Amino acid sequence: MSPQSVTNHLDRARLTIRWQAGDQMQISHATLRAACTCAACDQMRRLGWGPAVEPGVRLLALQLVGRQGVLMVFNDGHGQGVYPWPYLRALASAGQAPRRGDLRSPPRARSVP
C-alpha cells in the first residue's frame, strides 16, 4: 500500500496523498502532528494526554522509509515519527472531510473494509 505521489503544500498546511488506486487524500499538518508516532508522543497518548499541537505547526520535510512509510519532520522539533502508509490512510479517512474548494473534483466514495 504505497502511494503514487505525496505532495506537501506548505502554504496550505496540508499533505496530499495520491494512492495507486487513483484516490486522493488531504491531511492537515496539525492532524499529522497530532498523530505523530515518535516515542514521546506515543507515550503522551498512552497516558491519555495527547500531544500538544501548536495551531501554526508545519510539516517541513518528508523522508521515505523503505516501502513501509514516511518519516515526517515538523517545525516544532518533532522529527522522529515514522508514519506507516496504512496509518496515514486511516488517519485521512478518520479526519475532517475536505473543505469546500480544496478538491477540484468531488471526492470518490471510499470503501471501508
Residues binding Zn ion (CB under 5 A):
36, 38, 41, 78
- In the complex with Zn ion, which residue's Cβ is closer, 29 or 78? 78
- Least distance (Å) between residue 61 CB and Zn ion: 14
Going by the DSSP 8-state scheme, the letter that residue 80 receives in this structure is -
Cα angle value 82/78/87 (rounded, 5°):
30
Kind and range of the H or E element at 7?
Answer: strand 3-9
- Least distance (Å) between residue 53 CB and Zn ion: 10
CA separation for the pair 17, 28 (Å, rounded): 11
- Least distance (Å) between residue 15 CB and Zn ion: 16
- In the complex with Zn ion, which residue's Cβ is closer, 55 or 106? 55
